[in-house]
Structures are given as C-alpha cells and as structure tokens.
Chain A
Amino acid sequence: MNGLRATLARNGVDGVTLLLLPAALFIVALFIYPFLFGLVLSFQPKTGDWLANYARFFSDPFLYDTVGKTLKLAVPVTLLNVAFSVPVALRVRLMANPKLLTTILVIPITLGTVLVAEGMLNYFGPRGWLNRALLEIGLSDSPVHLIHNYWGVFLSLVITGFPFTFLLTLSYVTGIDPALEQAGAMLGARGWERFKLIILPLLLPGLAITFCLSFVQAFSVFPSAVLLGAPAGDTRVISVAAYTAAFEEYDYAMASAIAMIMGLVQVVIVAGTLGLQSLFYRGPAGGGKG
C-alpha cells in the first residue's frame, strides 16, 4: 500500500491531484462527450451509408465552397489583426500610463458581436453617417457598399477580433526584456534593425500562438456573417451552412458532419502554424540569468 502511494507520489500523483477532478469532469461532460456524440452522429445520416453526409458535403459546391469562403475571410483578417497589433503593442509598452489606451482598445470585446453589427449597420449603411458624409463632401457620388457583403464581415471581424489579438500580442511584447533593445541600440542598430533582428525573432513564437487563437475565433464567425454579410452569397461561411442544416433542414447528422469538417480545417491550420513555430527560436526572451 505504502509502496503504491510512494510510486504514485514520485510520478506526481498525490492527494492534491484530486483537485483536478472537477475540471476533468467539466471537460468530459461539456467538451469530450458532446464532441464524440457529434462525431458519432455525423456518421448516422438520414439516408445513405455512414459516409453519406461527408460525401454530400464534398460533392455539393454550395456546401464545400463554404470552407474556402470562410478561409478567405478568416486568414486575411487574422493576419491583418496580428500585423497591426504588433506596432500598437510596441508603442503601448513604452507609454507611462497605458491603461487608458488599452481600455479603449479593449472596449469592442465587451460590446459583443451583435451590438457592433448594429452600430456598423447604422454607421456604414447606405444612409449611414459615413456615406452621407462622403456624399456631402463630394468624395463619392454614390454610396460606398461596406455592409451586406464581404467587407462588412471583414470590418466587423477586425473590430471585434483586434482587441483580443492585441491583448495577446501585448503580453508577448512585454515579455521581451527592454534591455535587449537598448543593447541593440548601443551596438549601433537603428529602430528598424532592432525590430527586425531582435524584437521580431523573439516575438514570432508568440505571434504564431496569437495567430492560432485569433484564427479559430475568426473562422467560427457567425452573427456578423449573417447580419453584416451576404449569408446566401459571399459570406456564406461554414457556420452558416451548419446552422442551415441543423435549424432549417432539421438534419442534425449533416450539421454535425459540417461541424466536424469545420473543426478539422481549424486543426489543420493551427497544426501547420505551430509546425512553423518550431523553426523559430523558442526560449526565454530575457537577458540571461539576471
């Protein structure tokens, strides 16, 4: 008995390990079980053999096109958000009191997608402030179409996705010892060289993680694709297809199959990005044993 306990303890298992139980139960009940349930369900189509749902998805352009459409939205949006968050985070790090700016940048997260969509409809719509201003000034003689198309969803993903991306990037940027940049400056490196040779290489692994998390968020876009996009056309994203299958066709098996494909695409992109990450330096971004 004692022997077993000692062996377990050596491997890091003791009474404290029991504290993991609630979290483990939670994950099993709310993630693993529904996932497996959906997976099994996706192989039990209404008609046809067990692969019929997947066969239908990949033979119907109205369905398989959604993967491309979603990627076409999610990848550029995520890249833009990541690229834009770096200079902002670098600037915020140097500020004496970054709280105000951080708060302003983070507000869109607290609003939620639907509220942002409402605002955008008012602001960017054909009779919205922006278009009325443009027409008034004479910069344009017809309203600019920024909603109910690709760009509406794009903009909304930038507005709601940027704060999240920015906060992640900021945490990675602040993890880089400022003395490293100072050391670079002392050795004659100019601003751009310091960024390219010192900051960026140390930031890349963190940016890869940031990209993955932001991408997963953007890929599962739903409300804004419906409210601000063209859910029957350009922005018929994969979650819209899943929604249609589940709640308009009442084909839960098909909806599960689409959800599984959606997850698979995300896993492929994330795994690919993390695979690239292993090419970069990964280690402490501080200056040695200080």
Chain B
Amino acid sequence: MSSQDFRALRLEAMSRDFGSLNALKGISLEVKRGEFIALLGPSGCGKSTALNCLAGLLPLSSGSIWLDDKRIDTLGPENRGFGMVFQNYALFPHMSVRKNIGFGLKMQRRPQDEIDRRVAEAMRLVRLGPQAEKLPGQLSGGQQQRVAIARAIVVEPPLVLMDEPLSNLDAKLRLEMRAEIRRIHNSLGCATIYVTHDQDEALSLADRIVVLRDGQMRQVGTPDELYGRPAHPDVAEFMGFRNVLPTTASFDGRLSVTLGPASLWATPVGEIAPGPATLAIRPEDLSPVMNGPIQASVLTAEYRGRDFYGVAVTAEGTELYFRAEHRVNPGEALTLSAEPARVLVYPA
C-alpha cells in the first residue's frame, strides 16, 4: 500500500475558541510525508481539539490548514480524506469487521472485488486473523483496535490521525500495539499525527514531538532533543523532571544555583541572568553520595527492583525526588548530588 502523494501538511496559526476560552492559540506546524508526529500534553492542553480541527470535526476560529497548495480547513471531514482512529475506536457495532473496514472504500464507490481485495490486504497488514465476519462486540479490545486502524488506513489516506488509541488497552497490549502502530506507519508512508498524554509513547513512537500546553506549542523537536534539553520548565516537568524548583542563579566563572543553603553547578537553557530562576532535575539524576551538597532526610522510599525511588525533604521543607542504588529508609539522613550537565536552569 502506498499513500496518496503529497509533500507536506501545513498548519498556519490554527486557532480554536470555545466561547471565551482559547483552546488553541495559533498553532503553526509543517508535517512532511512519512513523518510520525506526536502531540503531547496533559489533559485540557488542547491536543484533542487540535486533532479534531485537523480532522474537520471542529471548525477553526482562525488560521488555515494546507495540504501542499490546497487549502483544506474549509472542507468538511468527508471531503478531506484523512484516516482517523478514535479513542473508543468508534467501530460501527452493527457491521461485520469486513464491512467496517470496507466502509471507506464503499463510500468511494469502488468495485466490490477491489474492496474485498484491499480489505483482505489491510487485515493482513494489521494482523487480524480470521475475524472478518464477526461483529465488533465479539472482539477483544486489541482486536477492535486493529480493526479501527485497518478501517482508517485502507483508503490510503495522506494523513492518519490517532486520538490516544492505546489508552483503553492494558499495559502489555499497549506495548505490543505501540510497536505495531509504528510498523504499520512505516509500511504505509503516510503522515501520522498521534495524540497522547503519555511521554513514553511519544518518545518511542514519534519522529517529532509537539508539546502543547494551554493551547500553545511549547516545544517542537525530536524525542532526543525533548528528552535531553526541554526548552521550558513545563516541558521538563512533562519529560520526567519531577524536581522543578525556584532557585537563585549566580555566575562565578560558571553558572551555579542555590537549593536552600546548598549550591549546585548547573547548565543554562536559554539566557539566564543572575537572580531568580527555575531549576529542573530528574529523580534519576539526583542521587545520594558521600558528602553531597544537599542535606535531606528520607520521607518515603519505593523499591523498584534494580533501585529505589524516594522523596527526601530538606531542612527548609523542600521535597526532592531522588533515585538510590542501595536501600534507603524513611527518616535516614542523606546528602544528595547531581551532575552539572543534568541540572537545567530556566529563566524564572
């Protein structure tokens, strides 16, 4: 299967208001053919609104959407020709799996033998066994998911939209389907836009991640860029930096920041002036060492197999998430430290 030829999908200042609420504020983005884009953000950040605007299920308040040189935001969903996988799959409950998958082709008035052939092909691609005559209600969650994907891709859309498609599956199936979705994307060559609130999913699936917060794009980048150097404390928090704290920055040849009475060497993200700033450290990068700069006592500790994740509190009452290689016990006094490269500092 190959997708319709197009070079890029372009969003220009895409905005959507609900009454006085600006759910999307000027999203601009270019998606190339073959790209897998994850829209990542907490619930209420506008990611589903963005997807529905792309699909044509919600009209834009302002801005435009272009497929190459064709403006498409004025078209209804039935005229855009995009595929969509809904969060609850939205399979037609009264149609067999074969009819569900063939629905889009039937709407295109394709001959029956072509429909049969392409449905069979799509079912092979998503690895659905001999389920063609069953009703969706007779399938397991994972199988329904596969039908939903097959139904969306069988028409060979230029763009496939996925709205948290894995959120209804159990943890094991989620990992399995994650790999499947990437495999199917690779074999189609279409562009995929995938909405999720799970940064693991976004990091493992996407070529590029768009982090949304309050309807705005906070950062666009490869998983590497986002994971290693989030551009904003919000993004950092979403990327697993659980310690995001106010601090004071000072320069003494190199940047250092305070954490209570302690002082840490740090790495600036953006222009940092001496004075108030925000620091971000992952729990994995904050560990107990002999004579570390931060004195704290353990509040709780969780055993995770290879190591321990815990919360420690400093004398000033700041709670810090840390990781320890060896057992730590509540009440125990520790000194914590972090590598300067792993202590990111943002303008306050």
Interface presence of B84 (CB below 8 A) = yes
Interface presence of B155 (CB below 8 A) = yes
Binds A, one of B89-97, B122-130, B189-197, B282-290: B89-97
CB neighbours (8 Å) of A187 from chain B are: 78, 103-104, 107, 151, 155
Determine whether the beta carbon of B84 is less than 8 Å from that of A288: no
The contact of B55 among A177, A186, A288, A290, by CB within 8 Å, is A186
Determine whether the beta carbon of A288 is less than 8 Å from that of B151: no
The distance from the CB of A137 to the nearest CB of chain B, in whole angstroms, is: 42
Interface presence of B276 (CB below 8 A) = no
Binds B, one of A17-25, A30-38, A188-196: A188-196
Question: Known interface pairs A185-B57, A186-B55, A283-B137. Does A289 touch B103 (Cβ–Cβ under 8 Å)?
Answer: no
CB neighbours (8 Å) of B318 from chain A are: none
Q: Residue-by-residue, is B126-156 near A (CB-CB < 8 Å gives 1, otherwise 0)?
A: 0000000001110101001000000110010
Residue among A179, A190, A281, A284 with the highest chain B CB neighbour number at 10 A: A179
The distance from the CB of B98 to the nearest CB of chain A, in whole angstroms, is: 14
Within 8 A of B (CB), among A165-185: 177, 179-180, 182-185
Determine whether the beta carbon of A290 is less than 8 Å from that of B81: no
Within 8 A of A (CB), among B2-56: 55-56
Question: Known interface pairs A189-B107, A190-B78, A289-B144. Does A183 touch B168 (Cβ–Cβ under 8 Å)?
Answer: no
Q: Tell me the interface secondary structure of chain B in the complex.
A: loop
Interface presence of B83 (CB below 8 A) = yes
Determine whether the beta carbon of A185 is less than 8 Å from that of B94: no
The distance from the CB of B93 to the nearest CB of chain A, in whole angstroms, is: 6
Determine whether the beta carbon of A289 is less than 8 Å from that of B141: yes
Residue among B79, B81, B88, B168 with the highest chain A CB neighbour number at 10 A: B88
The distance from the CB of B318 to the nearest CB of chain A, in whole angstroms, is: 42
CB neighbours (8 Å) of A185 from chain B are: 56-57, 76-78
With an 8 Å Cβ cutoff, the count of chain A residues facing the other chain is: 26
User: A213 to B135, alpha carbons, bound, how many Å?
Assistant: 30
User: A283 to B135, alpha carbons, bound, how many Å?
Assistant: 10
The contact of B89 among A186, A201, A284, A288, by CB within 8 Å, is A288
The contact of B93 among A184, A188, A190, A202, by CB within 8 Å, is A202
Interface presence of B82 (CB below 8 A) = yes
Residue among A180, A202, A290 with the highest chain B CB neighbour number at 10 A: A290
Chain A residue at smallest Cβ distance from B145: A288
The distance from the CB of B88 to the nearest CB of chain A, in whole angstroms, is: 2
Determine whether the beta carbon of A186 is less than 8 Å from that of B84: yes
User: A99 to B23, alpha carbons, bound, how many Å?
Assistant: 26
Determine whether the beta carbon of A182 is less than 8 Å from that of B77: yes
The distance from the CB of B75 to the nearest CB of chain A, in whole angstroms, is: 11
Chain B residue at smallest Cβ distance from A185: B77
User: A40 to B23, alpha carbons, bound, how many Å?
Assistant: 70
Determine whether the beta carbon of A290 is less than 8 Å from that of B137: no
Interface presence of B87 (CB below 8 A) = yes
The distance from the CB of A86 to the nearest CB of chain B, in whole angstroms, is: 17
CB neighbours (8 Å) of B136 from chain A are: 287-288
Question: Known interface pairs A187-B107, A202-B94. Does A179 touch B137 (Cβ–Cβ under 8 Å)?
Answer: no
Determine whether the beta carbon of A288 is less than 8 Å from that of B81: no
Chain A residue at smallest Cβ distance from B84: A186
Interface presence of B291 (CB below 8 A) = no
User: A201 to B95, alpha carbons, bound, how many Å?
Assistant: 10
Determine whether the beta carbon of B168 is less than 8 Å from that of A184: no
CB neighbours (8 Å) of A288 from chain B are: 88-91, 93, 136-137, 139, 141, 144
Determine whether the beta carbon of A289 is less than 8 Å from that of B92: no
Determine whether the beta carbon of A183 is less than 8 Å from that of B86: yes
User: A118 to B92, alpha carbons, bound, how many Å?
Assistant: 48
Determine whether the beta carbon of A287 is less than 8 Å from that of B89: yes
Determine whether the beta carbon of A188 is less than 8 Å from that of B108: yes
Chain A residue at smallest Cβ distance from B89: A288
The distance from the CB of B321 to the nearest CB of chain A, in whole angstroms, is: 34
CB neighbours (8 Å) of A290 from chain B are: 87-90, 168
CB neighbours (8 Å) of A230 from chain B are: none
The contact of B86 among A182, A201, A281, by CB within 8 Å, is A182
CB neighbours (8 Å) of B135 from chain A are: 281, 283
CB neighbours (8 Å) of B137 from chain A are: 283-284, 288
CB neighbours (8 Å) of B91 from chain A are: 183, 287-288
Determine whether the beta carbon of A283 is less than 8 Å from that of B92: no
Cross-chain pairs A/B with CB under 8 angstroms, 11 sampled:
A180-B93, A182-B57, A182-B86, A182-B90, A185-B76, A186-B78, A187-B103, A187-B107, A187-B155, A286-B93, A290-B89
Interface residues of A (CB under 8 A from B): 177, 179-180, 182-190, 193, 197-198, 201-202, 281, 283-290
Report the 10 A-B pairs with minimum CB-CB distance, sorted nearest first. Answer: A290-B88, A281-B94, A187-B104, A188-B107, A287-B90, A179-B90, A183-B90, A185-B77, A186-B84, A287-B88
